[in-house]
Amino acid sequence: MKARPASSWRSIVSRRVRGKSADYFCLFQKVKPAPFGRGNAPVFLNVYDLTAVNDYFYWSGIGVFHSGVEVYGVEYAFGAHEYPSSGVFEVEPRQCPGFKFRKSILVGTTSLDPIQVRDFIERQSASYHGDTYHLIVKNCNHFCEDTCFKLTGKTIPRWVNRLARIVCTANCI
């Protein structure tokens, strides 16, 4: 089967405007891909399920999630260990071992180039030692919130760490 040029594609759905036939339109938003490079590299939040129970609670805005920040094809995350050294690690995007990948969310873009991002992550990791990890007050989602905000000026969706905030509010008062 011969492929059609992109300019000849038409939507399978037509519409009528004021009784007259209108041009075809698409149900999906048409977005021109931006060339990513210095000044506009995308920063993604990759969210994983920590438990199968998330399948039931996710739709109500509550769940137990792990997250990582993906930029320039590398995912950075924070985890616990018993040593007073960095708990920040890197993995293949959307492939964090031990977790079930749920979704990737575009948080924004960064003006840093790959070397600057790597330097930033190394400096950032000094504040996230493995022996300081705490499920409620300093977890992987806190790391991602902090990192995404510093890279893009935008925050991660509130539902990602909502359960930790609820537990902290109940216990920290």
Is 172 an annotated catalytic residue? no
Q: 106: which 2 tokens?
A: 């575009």
Is 66 an annotated catalytic residue? yes
Q: Which of 66, 142, 144, 148 is catalytic?
A: 66
CB atoms within 10 A of CB 124: 19
Nearest to 142 by CA among 121, 126, 128, 122: 128
Q: Which of 96, 140, 144, 148 is catalytic?
A: 140
Separation between Cα atoms, residue 116 and residue 110, nearest integer Å: 10
**Catalytic residue numbers?**
66, 140
